[in-house]
Structure 1
Amino acid sequence: MFISSIAVSGLDFVRQVKFRELICYVVDCWDGPEDDPIVYHGYTLTTKILFRDIIVDAIKPYAFHVSSYPVILSLENHCSEKQQEVLARHLAEVLGEQLYTDPVDENLEFLPSPETLMGKIIVKAKKMKSNLKTSVHEYESSSEEEYDGEMEKPVTTLKEKKTISEGLSNLVNLCQGIHFQDFETSKLTGKCYEMASFSEAKSEKLIATKGVEFVEYNTRQLSRIYPSAKRTSSSNFKPIQFWNVGCQMVALNYQTGKKPVFINEAKFKQNGGCGYILKPEILRDISLNYDPNAIQDDRQVLSPLYQKTLRLEIISGQHIPKPDQEFDGDIVDPYVKVKILGHPQDNQTMKTDVVKDNGFNPRWDCEMKFSVKLPQLAMVHLIVKDDNKNVTLGTYALPFESLTQGYRHVYLMDYTRTFVSPASLFVHVSIIS
Structure 2
Amino acid sequence: MNKINNYGVNLLVYGVLLDVKLHKMKRTQIILLLSPNEVRMIQMFDSQGTFSTYFDLTQISDIQQKEESQLKIINTKGDYIKLYFESSFQLITLKEGLDYLIKEANRIQKQLDSYNQIWSSALKLITKADIDMNNKLNFKEFQFLIGELQIEIPERKLIQVFEKNQKNNQLDETTLYKLLMDITRRHELKELYQKYSSKQEGMFEDPLQAMLMTDKDLQQFYKIEQGQIDYQAKRKLYNFYDFQNIIFSEENQIFQQKPIDQSQPITKYLINSSHNTYLERNQLTGESSCFAYQDAFKMGFKCVELDCWDGDDGEPKVTHGHTLVNDIKLKDVIITVREFAFYKDNNPAILSLEMHCCLKQQKRIAEILQSILGEMLFVIKDYKQEKFSTLQQLQRKVLVKYKADDHFLQEKLQTHSSTLFYTQSHDDMLIKFEDNDNQNIQSNIKQFSQTLDEQHHKKICRELLDITSLYAVQLKLDKKPELVWIVSSVSEDKIQDIIKKNHGKFQEYVDNYFVRIYPLGLRFDSSNYDPFPSWTAGAQMVALNIQTKDLFMLQNYGMFLNSSYVLKSNQDMKMNIYVRIISATNLVWEDDKRRQEEIVDPYIKIRIAGNHDDVNKSDKWRTEVVQDNGYHPIFNYQCVIQLRHAQQDVIYIQAYSYSILGDSLLGQYCLSPLNLRTGYRIVPLLNSQFKPLSNSYVLMHIKIEY
Give the TM-score normalised by the residue count of structure 2.
0.52
2:654 aligns with 383
1:39 aligns with 2:318: yes
In terms of fraction of residues, the more helix-rich structure is: 2
Contact between 1:78 and 1:139, CA under 8 Å: does it hold in 2?
A: no
1:85 aligns with 2:371: no
Pairwise CA distance, 1:430? 1.1
1:111 aligns with 388
Q: Which amino acid aligns with 1:243?
A: W
Contact between 1:141 and 1:229, CA under 8 Å: does it hold in 2?
A: no
Match of 2:350 among 69, 72, 93: 72
The 5-angstrom pairing of residues 90-239 of structure 1 reads: 90-106=368-384, 108-130=385-407, 137-140=423-426, 143=429, 160=452, 161-162=455-456, 163-173=459-469, 175-181=470-476, 183-185=477-479, 188-189=480-481, 191-239=483-531
Pairwise CA distance, 1:264? 1.5
Q: Distance in 2 between matches of 1:209 and 1:44?
A: 36
| Distance change (3 Å), C-alpha of 1:380 and 1:314 | same
Q: Secondary structure at the match of 1:263?
A: helix
Pairwise CA distance, 1:43? 5.0
Q: Secondary structure at the match of 1:35?
A: coil
1:333 aligns with 601
Q: Secondary structure at the match of 1:4?
A: strand
Contact between 1:385 and 1:391, CA under 8 Å: does it hold in 2?
A: yes
1:423 aligns with 696
Q: Which amino acid aligns with 2:471?
A: Q
Contact between 1:13 and 1:54, CA under 8 Å: does it hold in 2?
A: no
1:279 aligns with 2:568: yes
Q: Distance in 2 between matches of 1:223 and 1:230?
A: 21
In terms of fraction of residues, the more strand-rich structure is: 1
Q: Which amino acid aligns with 1:279?
A: K
| Distance change (3 Å), C-alpha of 1:223 and 1:75 | same
Q: Secondary structure at the match of 2:603?
A: strand
Match of 2:645 among 374, 386, 401: 374
Q: Secondary structure at the match of 1:332?
A: coil
Pairwise CA distance, 1:424? 1.0
Identity of aligned residues (%): 28
Point out 4+ residue stretches in structure 1 off by more than 6 angstroms.
132-135
Contact between 2:579 and 2:700, CA under 8 Å: does it hold in 1?
A: yes
1:250 aligns with 542
| Distance change (3 Å), C-alpha of 1:136 and 1:217 | closer
Pairwise CA distance, 1:141? 6.7
Moved more, 206-215 or 370-379: 206-215
Instruction: For structure 1, list consecutive stretches of 5 or more residues without a partner in the other structure.
Output: 146-156, 283-301
Contact between 2:379 and 2:467, CA under 8 Å: does it hold in 1?
A: yes
Give the TM-score normalised by the residue count of structure 1.
0.84
Listed one character per residue, the Cα deviations across residues 34-83 of structure 1 (whole Å, up to 9, x for unaligned) are 33222123355543212112112x11222223222222111111222222
Q: Secondary structure at the match of 2:517?
A: strand
2:305 aligns with 26
Q: Distance in 1 between matches of 2:389 and 2:489?
A: 21
Q: Which amino acid aligns with 1:124?
A: K
Pairwise CA distance, 1:343? 0.6
Q: Secondary structure at the match of 2:496?
A: helix
Pairwise CA distance, 1:256? 2.2
Q: Secondary structure at the match of 1:345?
A: helix
Superposition RMSD in Å: 2.4
Q: Distance in 2 between matches of 1:333 and 1:16?
A: 33
Q: Distance in 2 between matches of 1:26 and 1:104?
A: 26
Pairwise CA distance, 1:213? 2.9
Q: Which amino acid aligns with 2:463?
A: G
Q: Distance in 2 between matches of 1:238 and 1:269?
A: 18
Contact between 2:590 and 2:687, CA under 8 Å: does it hold in 1?
A: no
Q: Secondary structure at the match of 1:328?
A: helix
Match of 1:342 among 610, 621, 641: 610
2:686 aligns with 413
1:307 aligns with 2:577: no
2:9 aligns with none
| Distance change (3 Å), C-alpha of 1:277 and 1:18 | closer
Contact between 1:43 and 1:232, CA under 8 Å: does it hold in 2?
A: no
Q: Distance in 1 between matches of 2:321 and 2:475?
A: 22
| Distance change (3 Å), C-alpha of 1:235 and 1:333 | same
Q: Which amino acid aligns with 1:419?
A: P
Q: Distance in 1 between matches of 2:428 and 2:295?
A: 25
Q: Distance in 2 between matches of 1:197 and 1:122?
A: 16
Q: Which amino acid aligns with 2:346?
A: S
Instruction: For structure 2, list consecutive stretches of 5 or more residues without a partner in the other structure.
Output: 1-268, 279-287, 412-418, 432-447
1:3 aligns with 271
Contact between 1:324 and 1:393, CA under 8 Å: does it hold in 2?
A: no
Q: Which amino acid aligns with 1:353?
A: E
